[in-house]
């Protein structure tokens, strides 16, 4: 039997006041009518805790779009879970946050789009910048730990120093500088988002210097741009190893992007207990461990480090999820990544995330 998971990413809703073109949500967003209700989410948390989950990330979309968020927080916290609220900050008032904190939110992760209001609001597709500053102030006043998360891409990478300064001003304990990973909307907008190598090199220098300067005050987590690397990321620390995702409609996924892999056999919390899905479903066992691997992963010592990289990326770029992640320099499909990197940058703005008509 697989080890039990530590974390649950609960995508409570795909509704969001922002429309960032790098959103990792699937291009086919789940509509409000299809979302799980309050009682069903509470059941999901009960089952997740019994299975071994200790960390619940309340995410989306924007979790504040759910009117029952306070009840969901209280339920998850009551089970002894560490409750992380992943939010855009829009719709967060002093009263709402105080209520959520009293009900058990342990930590807030707040997104920022760019260092300057104009550019940030352009990416967000909404007047969001000032709300975020205000939201950070509220988090600080309540004494909750704050992580600021910024997704990096060609349009904001040259201002990474300003983003770091913004996170300091916001009073973050931790800043995640995450280069865009190409799933969902980000994959659709890849040509508009891919950074140039010189941008990445400069940003890496800025981040290294800031890390030294801020040691002991603010932790910097730097998620690298994997297309530009020689080895793949250890995606999810292995398939079905540590965390699971429940989508707004109750689909249970090994990672938030796994819905793109065809014929995976994704199951739903409405139909089968979570523990059964984690341990026994076809979807969760498809790429668990090392037995599914082909060469060059199978005989490679790095498989213990990177687990063959990302299954979704393998599918998206090679057409077969069981292939080595093609960002790996040992992959026979690496040429596809190099081809994408060699393309002329797309001058057009990214397509905005949103519900289709």
- Does 38 sit near another protein (CB under 8 A)? no
**Is residue 294 a contact partner of residue 309, using CB atoms and an 8 Å limit?**
no
- By beta-carbon proximity to another protein, the closer residue of 147 and 199 is 147
Nearest to 13 by CA among 69, 55, 82, 56: 69
Nearest to 109 by CA among 64, 52, 154: 64
| First-to-final CA distance of the chain | 43
Site stretch for another protein (CB under 8 A), options 27-35, 105-113, 312-320, 341-349: 105-113
C-alpha distances in Å from residue 289, one per residue of 176, 193, 241, 293, 336: 28, 33, 8, 9, 26
Residue 23 counted as an annotated binding residue? yes
Within 10 angstroms of residue 284's Cβ, the number of other Cβ atoms is 26
- By beta-carbon proximity to another protein, the closer residue of 146 and 283 is 146
Site stretch for another protein (CB under 8 A), options 92-100, 106-114, 120-128, 333-341: 106-114
Distance CA 329, CA 333 (A): 9
Site stretch for another protein (CB under 8 A), options 14-22, 50-58, 150-158, 283-291: 50-58
- By beta-carbon proximity to another protein, the closer residue of 144 and 322 is 144
Residue 235 counted as an annotated binding residue? no
Nearest to 236 by CA among 288, 283, 182: 288
Distance in Å, CB of 7 to another protein, minimum? 8
Q: Sketch the per residue contact string, 174 through 213, with another protein: x for CB under 8 A, - otherwise.
A: x---------------------------------------
Q: Which of 2, 54, 133, 322 binds another protein (CB under 8 A)?
A: 54
Question: What is the size of the binding site for another protein (CB under 8 A)?
Answer: 22
Distance CA 13, CA 25 (A): 10
- By beta-carbon proximity to another protein, the closer residue of 67 and 143 is 143
Residue 20 counted as an annotated binding residue? yes
Q: Which of 43, 68, 106, 168 binds another protein (CB under 8 A)?
A: 106
Q: Which two tokens stand for residue 198?
A: 């010189």
Distance CA 163, CA 190 (A): 22
- Does 78 sit near another protein (CB under 8 A)? no
The Cβ-side half-sphere exposure at 344, using a 13 Å CA radius, reads 3
Distance in Å, CB of 99 to another protein, minimum? 19
- Does 39 sit near another protein (CB under 8 A)? no
Residue 247 backbone dihedrals phi, psi, to 5 degrees:
-75, 165
Q: What is the largest CA-CA distance in the chain?
A: 56
- By beta-carbon proximity to another protein, the closer residue of 9 and 260 is 9
Rg of the chain over Cα atoms, rounded to whole angstroms, equals 20
- Does 331 sit near another protein (CB under 8 A)? no
Q: Where are the beta strands (DSSP E) in the chain?
A: 7-11, 55-59, 82-87, 105-112, 146-152, 174-179, 219-223, 243-246, 251-253, 267-268
- Does 219 sit near another protein (CB under 8 A)? yes
Site stretch for another protein (CB under 8 A), options 3-11, 193-201, 256-264, 333-341: 3-11
- By beta-carbon proximity to another protein, the closer residue of 217 and 357 is 217
Binding annotation for [4Fe-4S] cluster:
16, 20, 23
| Residues that bind another protein in the complex, under the rule CB under 8 A | 4, 6-7, 49-52, 54-55, 80, 82, 84, 106-107, 109, 143-145, 147, 173-174, 219
């Amino acid at each position: 039997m697989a080890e039990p998971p530590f974390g649950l990413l609960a995508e409570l809703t795909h509704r969001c006041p922002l429309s960032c073109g790098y959103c990792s949500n699937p291009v086919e967003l789940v509509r409000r009518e299809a979302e799980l209700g309050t009682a069903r989410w509470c059941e999901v948390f009960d089952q997740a805790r019994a299975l071994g989950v200790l960390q619940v990330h309340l995410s989306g979309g924007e979790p504040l779009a759910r009117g029952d968020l306070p009840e969901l927080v209280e339920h998850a916290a009551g089970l002894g879970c560490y409750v992380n609220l992943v939010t855009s900050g829009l719709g967060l008032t002093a009263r709402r946050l105080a209520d959520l904190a009293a009900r058990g939110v342990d930590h807030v992760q707040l997104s920022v789009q760019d260092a300057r209001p104009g550019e940030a609001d352009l990416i967000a597709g909404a007047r969001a910048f000032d709300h975020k500053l205000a939201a950070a102030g509220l988090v600080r006043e309540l004494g909750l730990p704050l992580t600021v998360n910024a997704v990096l891409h060609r349009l904001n990478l040259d201002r990474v120093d300003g983003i770091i300064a913004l996170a300091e001003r916001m009073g973050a304990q931790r800043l995640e500088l995450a280069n865009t990973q190409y799933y969902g909307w980000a994959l659709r907008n890849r040509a508009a988002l891919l950074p140039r190598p010189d941008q990445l090199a400069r940003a890496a220098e800025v981040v290294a210097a800031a890390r030294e300067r801020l040691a002991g005050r603010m932790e910097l987590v730097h998620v690298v741009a994997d297309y530009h690397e020689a080895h793949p990321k250890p995606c999810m620390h292995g398939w079905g190893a540590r965390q699971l995702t429940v989508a707004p409609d109750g689909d249970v996924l090994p990672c938030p992007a796994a819905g793109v892999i065809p014929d995976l056999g994704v199951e739903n919390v409405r139909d089968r207990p979570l523990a059964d899905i984690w341990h026994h479903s076809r979807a969760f066992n498809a790429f668990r461990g090392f037995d599914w691997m082909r060469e060059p992963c199978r005989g490679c010592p790095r498989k213990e480090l990177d687990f063959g990289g990302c299954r979704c990326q393998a599918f998206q770029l090679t057409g077969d999820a069981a292939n080595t992640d093609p960002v790996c320099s040992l992959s026979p499909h690496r040429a596809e990544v190099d081809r994408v990197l060699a393309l002329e940058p797309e001058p057009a703005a990214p397509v905005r995330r949103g519900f289709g008509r």
